[in-house]
Amino acid sequence: MRSICLTNNKGGVGKTTSAVNLAHGLVLLLRHNNMPHRVLLIDTDSQAHATLLTTGRREWDRSESLGEVLLAKSEKAGSILQRLIIPSQWDEDLHVLPGSPSLDGVNARLAEDHGFAVRLRHALRSVADQYDWVVIDTMPSFSRLTTLAMVAATDIVIPVEMRFLETVGLQAIVEKITEVRQTWEIPIRLTGILPVKYDQRVNLERENLELYASHSFYGPRLFETPIPANVAISYAHDASESIFTYDERSNAARAYMSFVRELLQRVYKPVGAENDV
């Protein structure tokens, strides 16, 4: 079971949009290719937007959501996680472990546990034979919840806009990934950097994309197809649908599917490939 964590400590960068469409895109593409395609989407953000988009409901109690798993005794966390997983409204093979506003309080309580970071990783063992992929959405901060999401992952994807202030913080995220890997001794890797909300008509965005594409570290990790700024994404949100269901011919849908394909290619690269970190 592979686990993909999408993270960026800045809000409004299309992280949740990318997480939910990655999750559905994996189901669709893998099913089309007759490959194992059951996907679990985990919402670790107290805003619970990924939960709202995929289930139509946001106000989950802590007892119905991820927080209950994270505060449970370790021997019970796995069975609780299994009980709280629900079907999405998008696809029968896409399930959701809901987030909720109560996660802010859970984040604070985790400070009492020095081993908090492995709680989700260990609980996920209980469903390793039920899902082929896990996609984890995170809150826009370097919170304890973000740390445990990284620890539970095999791969990290960073969505980032090609604007100056957004790209300035990219190095801090890379350093955080390295810190988590070394502190908790887990083999996570930065699988890719995903340009989002890209407008090729803006000179500065084109220049920044070219700059990162030519960079010795970021270049090999940059996904080839930027996700364009596209009104279809907003309409899909309003309809509580994935971009593939709402308008599969839109530029955004085509870009997201290209991203899913490239992600799969990178995940299955042999160890030691050039984009490992």
Dihedral (CA of 216, 148, 169, 264) sign: positive
Contact (Cβ atoms closer than 8 angstroms) between residue 204 and residue 164: yes
Query: pTM value?
Result: 0.94
| Among candidate residues 21, 7, 11, 4, the one with its CA nearest the CA of residue 247 | 21
Residue 276 — pLDDT band, cuts 50, 70, 90?
Answer: low
Tell me how many helices (H) and strands (E) the chain has.
13, 7
Which residues, 6 or more positions from 73, have their beta carbon under 8 angstroms from its beta carbon?
Answer: none
The larger pLDDT score, comparing residue 171 to residue 256, is at: 256
pLDDT digits (tens, 9 = 90+) for 42-88: 999 999 999 999 999 877 778 889 999 999 999 999 999 999 999 99
Query: Strand 86-87 relative to strand 94-97: parallel, antiparallel, unpaired?
Result: antiparallel
Q: Where are the domains of the chain?
A: 2-264
Phi, psi of 165 (to 5 degrees): -65, -35
> Residue 94 corresponds to which amino acid?
L
pLDDT of residue 10: 86
Angstrom distance (rounded) from CA 65 to CA 232: 30
pLDDT of residue 63: 84
pLDDT digits (tens, 9 = 90+) for 120-157: 999 999 999 999 999 999 999 999 999 999 999 999 99
| Residue listed under structure tokens 């309003």 | 238
Query: How many residues in total does the chain contain?
Result: 277
Angstrom distance (rounded) from CA 213 to CA 223: 9
Please give the distance of CA 33 from its chain centroid, rounded to a whole number: 22
The chain-wide mean pLDDT, for the chain, equals: 93
SS3 97: strand
Dihedral (CA of 86, 89, 92, 95) sign: negative
The answer to whether residue 275 scores a pLDDT higher than 50 is: no
Please give the distance of CA 16 from its chain centroid, rounded to a whole number: 7
Angle, CA of 265, 269 and 272, to the nearest 5°: 150
pLDDT of residue 82: 97
Angstrom distance (rounded) from CA 104 to CA 44: 10
Q: How far apart are the first and last CA of the chain?
A: 20
Contact (Cβ atoms closer than 8 angstroms) between residue 155 and residue 2: yes
Contact (Cβ atoms closer than 8 angstroms) between residue 221 and residue 275: yes
Angstrom distance (rounded) from CA 122 to CA 144: 16
> Residue 206 corresponds to which amino acid?
R
3-state secondary structure 243-274: HHHHCCCCHHHHHHHHHHHHHHHHHCCCCCCC
The answer to whether residue 175 scores a pLDDT higher than 90 is: yes
Residue 272 — pLDDT band, cuts 50, 70, 90?
Answer: very low
Q: Which fold has domain 2-264?
A: Rossmann fold (3.40.50)
The answer to whether residue 270 scores a pLDDT higher than 70 is: no
